[in-house]
Amino acid sequence: MRFALRLEFDGSGFCGWQEQSKTMEKKCPSLQMTLQKAFAKLLGTRKKIFVQGCGRTDAGVHAEDYVANVEIDEILLKKFKAEPRRLRLGLNSYLPPNLSAKEIVEAPADFHALNDVKSKTYEYRILIKRTKPALELGRVYWLPAEAKDRAFFDVELLKRQMKYFVGRKDFAAFANAGHSVKTTVRNVLSVECVEELRDRDRGRLISVFFTGEGFLKQQVRNMVGSLVAVATKKRGEDFIPRLLEASRGPATRIPSLFCAPPEGLFLTRVNYDRPIFPSEA
């Protein structure tokens, strides 16, 4: 039987989604291997239970709604009577506190969590706060400044710059160094920004949402890095257009200013061309 899983996790304790070598897994576990081991223990088998994810996430990146699929022999499911709810409860008992299965449902036999993806939405959270955010540490990109200091971080300028990323374009300048992908062309469907001005002690939270058919490794973090560079006046307003223009040249990465840290990035939505979970119907 094939099942679809909706997961949430704090990525700070993992080396990313992708399964690594045994040596690397001992140093820092992957999300994929952690799930596979949990399934094997739950089902009482030494056979590897392969879990297919909807994409790779970098070390330290979080997810509120990550989708995966797994195929399990019906014989191993007997004690659960093939009930997804019982399977979810059992699986969570073997998972660490920073990884949770929110939902497990029986999926169509041809459902593939990665190949069937139509679009994904990532949220990047930037916190402008005068003091270190102890309660949000590891879940935001902290910029130390007074929340009301508009001169330090011009959010209206950031919003005007976001338009340059929308559309089907060559994002070579925003690709991870040393990538091996055949093409760096990607289609970004939308970029939106929401600003929350809180009290002086809690700072100003700026969330930037990127929705696209697919993204290059570290593309979102590099795009955020360039937006921050312009919003803080470290680069001029022509910086992003020049990077995109340079992407049309030789197939090499043109260094952008910096890659925003992983702790501010969340995968918040994975879209398919058909409803997979009851909540989507």
CA 106 to chain centre: 24
Question: How far from 76 is each of 47, 94, 136, 187, CA to CA, in Å?
Answer: 11, 16, 41, 41
Q: How far is Cα 110 from Cα 208, in angstroms, rounded to an integer?
A: 34
Q: Please spell the DSSP secondary structure of 216-248, one letter per residue.
A: -TTHHHHHHHHHHHHHTTSS-TTHHHHHHHHTT
User: If you compute the radius of gyration of the chain from its CA atoms, what whole number of angstroms results?
Assistant: 20
Strands 204-212 and 99-106: unpaired
Run of H or E including 86: helix 84-92
Please name which of 163, 152, 220 lies closest in space to residue 191, comparing C-alpha atoms.
163
Residue 140, CB half-sphere, CA atoms under 13 Å: how many?
A: 20
* Total residue length of the chain: 281
47-68 in b/e form (b: 16+ CB < 10 A) is: eebebbbbbebbebbbbebbbb
Residue type, 94: Y
Strands 62-71 and 265-272: parallel
Active site residues: 58
Asked if 163 and 140 count as a contact pair (C-beta separation under 8 A), the reply is no
Run of H or E including 77: none
